[in-house]
Amino acid sequence: MSANRDIEALIDMMARLPGLGPRSARRAVLHLIRKRALLMTPLADLMQQVAATARECLNCGNIGTGDICEICASDKRANGMICVVEDVADLWAMERSGVFKGRYHVLGGTLSALDQIGPDQLRIPRLVDRVDSENVTEVILALNATVDGQTTAHYIADQLEGRVTLTSLAQGVPIGGELDYLDDGTITAALNARRKV
Amino acid sequence: MSANRDIEALIDMMARLPGLGPRSARRAVLHLIRKRALLMTPLADLMQQVAATARECLNCGNIGTGDICEICASDKRANGMICVVEDVADLWAMERSGVFKGRYHVLGGTLSALDQIGPDQLRIPRLVDRVDSENVTEVILALNATVDGQTTAHYIADQLEGRVTLTSLAQGVPIGGELDYLDDGTITAALNARRKV
């Protein structure tokens, strides 16, 4: 390649982002170089700043700019509910819906015997502590509907049994979903959990 | 979203890169935040540096770090051949093959009556100048096999007629290509340009 070494190194580094390969990284870098002043410089500045300030909340594992994230720091969110999610991306998805007003607990993954991930790697002891210390009345298990996710949910349910109300997200037909395109498992779950109209 | 404003702004900005949407930008930013020290900070530094130094070569339009790019500055590449490409990405693709040892001329697009792009917007006058000043013997038109690309190739051929040898890339079956998956146009072109074995 004839571009200088910095540009090549930048392409290599961009190609390590999830969702980008060598080809799309080249395209993205060319786009950035064409919009040096409008996009590349501000993006680099912002990245620098986030890299310097972003950290995991010591309480819940969410990403924020302080030792304690905005949600854990806000008294308004202390409604006695904790929503347990696998990942910060899941937390963001829940927050976009805007319907949950409580606090979160980010596990950082799921239990996995294969990958040797046990409860201690997943902030589960910290969750048990929080249930006692934050006057929690309900723990919502918003884990993915995968085998690992459900295993983890069962483990947490065992740990917290009798201490709080434990709930999980409803399973059924997604809003806007067409039955014809749904898998058998979802239809079965939706039928079993049918409600009176 | 509960992440602080810088993180949200970073996601918005990443989503403006080609090939990334809001969803993949969130994924990329989460990945960057998790690898702050190893990936995010070096990436931001490199981006800053490329933004400060990258510029278009005044001679050929390639992207480099000086007023004249490495290829135009190198005497080794002055073999009397100029390869005309639409875009820097095409130049990079040619360079990856490593087979062309001459210089390039990046048009920066194709002639387009609809988008009001004429010869002056495309460095075509500069190409005509270079043919005279750089002792060019052959101009290879490596433009895309699209209508606009071929229109542009014809226009350039008209401008340079009689002054230099004009060639274009061969059209035919791509290496590793299976006839069954090729379009009719390519098969027709390959058949018309058939060679003795």
Per-residue pLDDT tens digits for B89-146: 999 999 988 899 999 999 998 998 888 888 888 899 999 999 989 889 999 999 988 8
- What phi and psi, each to the nearest 5 degrees, are found at residue A142? -105, 55
Within an 8 Å CB–CB cutoff, is residue A99 touching chain B?
A: no
Question: Minimal Cα distance from A3: which residue of B?
Answer: B64
Of B13, B1, B122, B34, residue with least CA distance to A71: B1
Q: What domains sit in chain B, N to C, each tagged with a CATH number?
A: 5-53 (1.10.8), 74-168 (3.40.1360.10)
Whether residues A51 and B40 touch (CB distance < 8 A) is answered with yes
Per-residue pLDDT tens digits for A128-160: 999 989 889 999 999 988 889 999 999 999 999
Of A10, A29, A146, residue with least CA distance to A90: A146
Residues 102-131 of chain B with CB under 8 A from chain A are 104
Report ipTM for this prediction: 0.83
What span, in angstroms and rounded, lies between the C-alpha atoms of A130 and A132?
A: 5
pLDDT in tens, chain B (197 residues): 445 788 999 999 999 999 899 999 999 999 999 998 899 999 999 999 999 999 999 999 999 888 899 999 999 998 899 999 999 999 999 998 889 999 999 999 899 888 888 888 889 999 999 998 988 999 999 998 888 999 999 999 999 988 999 999 888 888 888 888 888 888 888 888 888 88
Question: Minimal Cα distance from B40: which residue of A?
Answer: A51
Within an 8 Å CB–CB cutoff, is residue B62 touching chain A?
A: yes
Closest Cβ opposite residue A92 in set B1, B9, B48: B1
Whether residues B18 and A26 touch (CB distance < 8 A) is answered with no
User: How many CB pairs below 8 Å do chains A and B form together?
Assistant: 168
What span, in angstroms and rounded, lies between the C-alpha atoms of A108 and A131?
A: 18
